[in-house]
Structure formats: C-alpha cells, structure tokens
Amino acid sequence: MSRTTRLFQLMQAMRQAAPPVLAQSLARDMDVSLRTIYRDIDSLRSLGAVIDGEAGYGYTLIEDATLPPLGFDDEEIEALVLGLREVGQTGDPSLAQADGRALSKLKGRLSPSQAHRLEHAVLSARHFREVPKPGVDPRALRQAAWAEMRITFAYMDKEGAASERSVDPLGITAIDNAHCLLAYCHLRQDYRSFRLDRMRDLVVSEDSFRPNRVPMLREFIERIRNDPFASANTRTLFS
C-alpha cells in the first residue's frame, strides 16, 4: 500500500469512528504499527487537516482543510441520504457497506450545518421484504459490465428449468424486489433479464463486446418502455 493511499484510508477511518478514536484502534483497523499511526497523523496535520487530540487520549478529525466544502441545498441533502439509505437496504453486501463509507466521506466535505442535516436527515428507507441473496459475486458482475466482457453462468428460471447462458452484461437493476442483470443473451439471440439469485457459477471470459454496452443498454431500455406486454412495474423503472 502506498503512503498516499494509507493517509486517505486513515482519514476515512477517523471519519467513520466515534470520536475520539484511539491510535491503538486505528492501528488495529489498518493493520499497521502505532508508530505509523502517529507519524501519519503528523503528516496529515502538516498537509492541513485539523485533527484534535494526542497520544493516549484519542483523536478527532475536526475538518479536512485540503478539501473544499461541497454546496447542496436542503432538498439535495435529503435526496442523497434517501438514495444511499436505499442502497444500504437493498444493495448487495459490498454496496451496503459502501453506503456508510459514502455518507461519511460526504459529511466530511460539507459545512458544519449541512453535515448536521446529513446526519439527522428526515428521510430514510426501510424494506420489510428481504432482497434474495445473489448466487454470484455482484462485484465481479459489475466489473464485467464496466469492462464490457462477455460472461457465462448457470441459470434456473422460475419454472425450475436449468440452462447455461453466455451473455453480454449491460447493467443491473432492481425489479420487483429482486436484483436483475440486463443482458444480451447469445442463447436466445435477444435481450433478456436474469435474476441474480438464480445465477450460479459465474465465469468472466476474455471476449470483449466493447464499445457496444451503452448503445445496447439504451436499446434494451427503450424496448421495455415501448413493450405493451411488459409489466407496469418494469416499465416504470425505465420511464
């Protein structure tokens, strides 16, 4: 790990921890020595970060002077919180963890009054139906879509019929309380959606379909919008 990366991670760890956070706790979380933590805190202070406290008493990150405050109005703050809380409720485990990290980073770049509004937002999100757990690694699936690499996987449809699919992954969306992969299926020679909880044995191939993901995704979404036989819930997602 580079020193720059470690300093950024230390800032993030201090934002997330309840202040004051002890150096021993930071060293344990980051898997470094106490001496490294003390040295890195001194480095952050020299770069302009305002960090209160000292060894033995704990540290509190007051502000990050190296980053200018972001400007949002009150409605934008509420929208950001609601969106991130929705991710925390319905996202896969890695995205659910990213929800808290993103909120803490955002809070660190807001003015004190807006940071307070962010922390005590009026809006939140709660779901009482659990989203089915994915049968494949969502991070690998997202990366394959971004990299525009063809994938293969085993799939079982709602009738219990099993098949092997080779598809071009275009995007992932939430449909009827389940996460679905939008893709071009080479078995069916057409666009299809696949529930992640019914997918198994994901393999990312070396075959690229770059640079076609964005136009293909637009075509698929437009087709859903204009399909009179698509469910109302599905059309609403893309309207």
Secondary structure of the chain as H, E, C letters: CCHHHHHHHHHHHHHHCCCCECHHHHHHHHCCCHHHHHHHHHHHHHCCEEEEEECCCEEEEEEECCCCCCCCCHHHHHHHHHHHHHHHHHCCHHHHHHHHHHHHHHHHCCCHHHHHHHHCCCCCCCCCCCCCCCCCCHHHHHHHHHHCEEEEEEEECCCCCEEEEEEEEEEEEEECCEEEEEEEECCCCEEEEEEHHHEEEEEEEEEECCCCHHHHHHHHHHHHHHCCCCCHHHHHHCC
In sequence order, the 6+-apart residues with CB closer than 8 A to the CB of 109 are 64, 67, 68, 69, 70
* Strand-strand pairing, 49-54 and 58-64: antiparallel
Instruction: Tell whether the model's pLDDT for residue 205 goes beyond 50.
Output: yes
The per-residue pLDDT for 239 is 43
* Phi, psi values for residue 62, rounded to 5°: -80, -45
Lowest mean pLDDT among 40-44, 116-120, 145-149, 209-213: 116-120
Asked if residues 70 and 106 have their Cβ atoms less than 8 Å apart, the reply is yes
Instruction: Tell whether the model's pLDDT for residue 164 goes beyond 80.
Output: yes
Interval 88-133: pLDDT, tens: 766 677 777 787 778 777 777 777 877 887 888 776 766 667 778 8
Interval 130-158: pLDDT, tens: 778 889 998 899 999 999 999 999 999 88
Mean pLDDT of the chain: 83
Encoded amino acid at 115, one letter: A
What's the predicted TM-score (pTM) here?
0.60
Local confidence band at 201 (pLDDT 50, 70, 90 cut-offs): very high
Report angle CA 117, 123, 128 to the nearest 5 degrees.
Answer: 145
